[in-house]
Structure 1
Amino acid sequence: MNTLTSSAHLVNVDIELEAAVLGVVLQTPGKAADLLRYIQKPTIFYHSLHQHIYEAIADLYAQGNDCDLMAVRQWLKSHGHDTTNLFNIISQNIFFDLAPKCLILFELAVKRYLGQYGERITRMASDPTTDALQLLERVDGDIDNIMGSIQSMKRPSVNDHLKVFLNGLDGKAKNNGPFTGLSTGIRTLDEQTNGLKPGCLYILAAGTGVGKTAIAGHIVKHQILEVGNAVGFCTLEMKGSEILSRFVAAETGYSNYELDRGKGIDPYKINDAVTRLSDKPLYIWDKPIELIQLEYQASEWKRRYGIKLLVIDYLQLVKHSMVKNRYERVSEISLTFKEMAQELDIAVLALAQLNRDHDKREGWKKRPKLSDLRESGQIEQDSDGVMMLFRPHKFGLNYADSSIIITPQTLEIHIPKWRNGMPTDEDYPLLAYYDAPTNRVGSVPFPDVPF
């Protein structure tokens, strides 16, 4: 009898199923993302070899490498693990729906854990020095963590969805704050949209040099500094240090140029801004990234740090080597972003580039519209809200109402789509303040800018 593939003598263990789940991934490396989404700890597997194989897959995946049999074998050997029985795993029965199988393994692991946990609690309860109330609080917290993990893997029923709806409705009724979603730090935008809601995908689109990254950065900075929420930021155009340099510029009023030169600046002012930004819950990825790698990174940020918002700058720069056709690639990325928002229960804000068609139009017709989004069909369909930026001063335009003066800082925010909200009229966008040299953003009138 092969002890690797038999678990008849064990309680709450199914080694055959463990091997089969891993065998699917080793023979179909594209399934690695599913495995890591459903199982997030190696100890879900009972057998030590299976734990090491899971660690190999997770490590290879995080680095953007292949997770096939030979790559895993090489990883195991380089980490000093035995590979004798590795090839037995791929001889297991193959299936393609990992979710229910992973849930079975998870529930078996929970039962094993509860058995050990019960013994530990019994010992603690028998200790006369143990504080009973503290022990109860610990048990309550541990059980909540276990239930949260189980619920994230199970497919909710109608009653579960109704409960979420009613709880949300009750929370909104009791909410004394002005917005039910994540605030952007731009008052006019928040009043129009009610904020960015968890489970939703939002698109922030504009042409080159209009201010997409600055607006996204302002939202991120507002969330980590003023609200205190954890944020994940995937920046594919700039390094993380450049993003933070822009944050410092906005905090101090120094221009990007002045900070780049590093001359004539007040070090105490810089130190104050750096101190204010230090140790804030912002997690940055600033390297080229594959779609499946981004999924895993977002899941890790959510699991470890509880991020409320994920920002991707920008959508068309995310790689997807499995799809070569540009339209299909962007469509797949857009759909995955939406699914990611729903599964992780976070707001996802994806920046997007416009095509060149709007540049060919004249006058106020240069204002962006949904059809200007590159590969717009699927993006428009997947998104819950679309914000589009326009700077009329760049084109020498003036409003018919002479009381509204256009300056280099005038920024229009068009909202052609907002699910469960109010889109803007094409001729009546929201107005915001954006100073490109210092990256400062705010509502109009000018005094509302958070200097």
Structure 2
Amino acid sequence: MAKETKQKLARIALPEIDMQGRVLPQAIDFEEAVLGAMMLEQNAAVSVIDMLREEMFYKESHQKIYKAITQVFHASDPVDLLSVANQLRKNGDLEAIGGAYYLSSLTNRIVSSANIEYHARIVSEKYIQRKLISVSTETIHNAYDNSLDVLEMLDTAEKNLFDIAEQNFRRDSRTMPDIIREVLSDLQAMKMSDKKLRGLPSGFTELDRVTNGWQKANLIIIAARPGMGKTAFVLSMARNIAIEQQKPLAFFSLEMSAADLVMRLISAESGFKQNQLKKGDLTDEDWAVLVNKMTELSNAKLLIDDTAGLSIFELRAKCRRFKQQYDIQGVVIDYLQLMSGGQDLKGGNREQEISTISRSLKALSKELDIPVIALSQLNRSVESRTTQSKRPQLSDLRESGAIEQDADLVLFIYRPEYYKLATFEDQKTPAAGLAEIMIAKHRNGPLKDVKLRFIADYAQFCDIDNFDQYVSDFMPNETTLLDNYNTIPSRINEDNEMSSPSNSPMYPIDDGDPF
């Protein structure tokens, strides 16, 4: 009689209550249906074994049973009533769950396992509800504690909520037919399109030709020593994406203010030097040109966030919100070393913190399925080299080798002129006014160096062939206003026959990107 009473008690879930005295979300009947189906039919275990975890079951006895089922399954033994009972006996849990009688009663409650995936989903949802209540309760408790830092509380709450989503909404494994269909659809779309790029264009013809644009789910690192023009380079790409392509882009500036960035854009778009703008040295005609260009810029789909000391958790939260609200097609971060890894990593090893940030950025690119472009500083070792060449190497990436490992694409910006070198390494190409974009790592493509023209007065990069026309039109007159200034996107999307004078628009300055 005592044994039978014990078995009955095993079926009774002792209800837990929340702060308001309410019973926590649970689905005992669905838990029983899932466990019974897994022991009834072999294929049932296969269909839900990767959907559920032991802690997702509300009853402790059900957690022990599911643990035994997974142990039998991973041992490649048949999952049935006898094998699970034997495993529970080995674990010392058979009597605790109510004995073999209770196991048998689970299989007697169902006829088939046809609805097991639906039942498992209900069990998972109830677990998520309980976790949300737990995190919320902890957050409320901490909010009443005046000794805790408010920003630290925000970071902890965000991290806990993100962990719930990360653990419970991972993408399922996909079969080859599904993947092939997706790839085929992409290839067909490219074939039907008149564009030659799969990714977001940088605005530089040769660079786009090598990279095929910035690809989705890719982490792109652009690194250089201070003074090389990192911000000018990514601002040029941001302009091309947000203005020419009209695709929403998020730009996180941890170094420069949003106003300074926009001032650079205005300077490049209008053709006025920044000093001229800051001094207000403009005629009425100049003001008309300026206002016209600023009106065009106001329509750019560019989101600029200049929050200083941004943590990786804050950045991820903002990017998710931007993706939901504006459907951003890419993220630019200027620059990686100015970010923090959150409160948990403060005061610790900086290299470990940068590694965490790098991994998180790669995970973010995959989660949102967009390219994430992050600027990075290089070590001073570049400038301490005794050789004439100051060309950066992958080993020069500052503070972490994980950056190289996580990145799909690593680019270096190199300007010999900055080091007062007259030529590039070939001793032939003059260094004055030229920059080299070195593709040092390309996970899915070739390595190549691409030369661009750097216009210091306007802090902008452009294709070399486009600059030649700029020189002939404007340099002889030494004008400060670039009359009829305009740009067009990278020419990588144009057919060869479109480059003839009869078909090509004659712009007085670069037809790539103005930066």
Is the TM-score greater than 0.5? yes
Q: Is the 1:25–1:68 contact (alpha carbons within 8 Å) kept by the matching residues of 2?
A: no
Residue 430 of structure 2: aligned partner: 405
Q: Find the residue that maps to 2:191 and give its secondary structure.
A: helix
Q: Which amino acid aligns with 2:153?
A: D
Q: 1:229 to 1:96 in 2, by over 3 A?
A: closer
Residue 5 of structure 1: aligned partner: 24
Residue 349 of structure 2: aligned partner: 325
Q: Is the 2:354–2:400 contact (alpha carbons within 8 Å) kept by the matching residues of 1?
A: no
Identify which of 372, 387, 410 aligns with 2:411: 387
Following TM superposition, by how much is the alpha carbon of 1:439 offset from its aligned partner in structure 2, in angstroms? 2.2
1:96-116 Cα deviation digits (max 9, x unpaired): 97348855xxxxxxxxxxxxx
Following TM superposition, by how much is the alpha carbon of 1:422 offset from its aligned partner in structure 2, in angstroms? 1.1
Following TM superposition, by how much is the alpha carbon of 1:200 offset from its aligned partner in structure 2, in angstroms? 0.2
Q: 1:331 to 1:260 in 2, by over 3 A?
A: same
Q: Find the residue that maps to 2:458 and give its secondary structure.
A: coil
Q: Find the residue that maps to 1:336 and give its secondary structure.
A: helix
Q: Which amino acid aligns with 1:353?
A: Q
Q: Is the 2:416–2:424 contact (alpha carbons within 8 Å) kept by the matching residues of 1?
A: no
Tell me whether 1:98 sits opposite 2:159 in the alignment. Answer: no
Residue 496 of structure 2: aligned partner: none
CA distance in 1, matches of 2:161, 2:443: 38
CA distance in 1, matches of 2:377, 2:206: 23
Residue 445 of structure 2: aligned partner: 421
Where in structure 2 are there 5+ consecutive unaligned residues? 1-14, 16-20, 28-120, 144-149, 470-508
Q: Find the residue that maps to 1:237 and give its secondary structure.
A: coil
* Between 436-445 and 386-395, the greater mean CA deviation after superposition: 436-445
Q: Which amino acid aligns with 1:332?
A: T
Q: Is the 1:358–1:365 contact (alpha carbons within 8 Å) kept by the matching residues of 2?
A: no
Tell me whether 1:351 sits opposite 2:412 in the alignment. Answer: no
1:213-246 Cα deviation digits (max 9, x unpaired): 0000000000011111100010000111111111
Q: Which amino acid aligns with 2:385?
A: R
Q: Find the residue that maps to 1:66 and give its secondary structure.
A: helix
Q: Find the residue that maps to 2:340 and give its secondary structure.
A: coil
Residue 62 of structure 2: aligned partner: none
Following TM superposition, by how much is the alpha carbon of 1:252 offset from its aligned partner in structure 2, in angstroms? 1.4
Q: Is the 2:225–2:377 contact (alpha carbons within 8 Å) kept by the matching residues of 1?
A: yes
TM-score normalised by length of structure 2: 0.61
Tell me whether 1:25 sits opposite 2:135 in the alignment. Answer: yes
TM-score normalised by length of structure 1: 0.69
1:305-320 equivalences in 2 (<5 Å): 305-320=326-341
Q: Is the 1:257–1:437 contact (alpha carbons within 8 Å) kept by the matching residues of 2?
A: no
CA distance in 2, matches of 1:330, 1:68: 17
CA distance in 2, matches of 1:68, 1:219: 31
CA distance in 2, matches of 1:287, 1:308: 21
1:26-65 Cα deviation digits (max 9, x unpaired): 4777xxxxxxxxxxxxxxxxxxxxxxx8xx9xxxxxx955
Tell me whether 1:449 sits opposite 2:467 in the alignment. Answer: no
1:307-334 Cα deviation digits (max 9, x unpaired): 1110000001111132121100000000
Q: Which amino acid aligns with 1:300?
A: R
CA distance in 1, matches of 2:419, 2:247: 38
Following TM superposition, by how much is the alpha carbon of 1:95 offset from its aligned partner in structure 2, in angstroms? 12
CA distance in 1, matches of 2:161, 2:281: 63
Which structure has the greater CA radius of gyration?
A: 2
Residue 251 of structure 1: aligned partner: 269
CA distance in 2, matches of 1:194, 1:100: 31
Q: 1:329 to 1:18 in 2, by over 3 A?
A: closer
Q: 1:403 to 1:373 in 2, by over 3 A?
A: closer
Q: 1:170 to 1:360 in 2, by over 3 A?
A: same
Residue 237 of structure 2: aligned partner: 219
1:272-298 Cα deviation digits (max 9, x unpaired): 111111132111110121110100001
Q: Which amino acid aligns with 2:241?
A: Q
Residue 434 of structure 1: aligned partner: 454
Q: Is the 1:230–1:309 contact (alpha carbons within 8 Å) kept by the matching residues of 2?
A: yes
Residue 66 of structure 1: aligned partner: 153
Identify which of 140, 154, 175 aligns with 1:158: 175
1:46-95 Cα deviation digits (max 9, x unpaired): xxxxxxx8xx9xxxxxx9551499x99xxxxxxxxxxxxxxxxxxxxx99
Identify which of 224, 233, 251 aligns with 1:233: 251
Residue 78 of structure 1: aligned partner: none
Q: Which amino acid aligns with 1:437?
A: D
CA distance in 1, matches of 2:440, 2:390: 15
Residue 300 of structure 1: aligned partner: 321
CA distance in 2, matches of 1:163, 1:175: 18
Aligned-residue RMSD, C-alpha:
3.2
Q: Which amino acid aligns with 1:439?
A: A
Aligned length: 343
Q: 1:210 to 1:230 in 2, by over 3 A?
A: same
Q: Find the residue that maps to 1:98 and give its secondary structure.
A: helix
CA distance in 1, matches of 2:324, 2:201: 22
Q: Is the 1:290–1:318 contact (alpha carbons within 8 Å) kept by the matching residues of 2?
A: yes
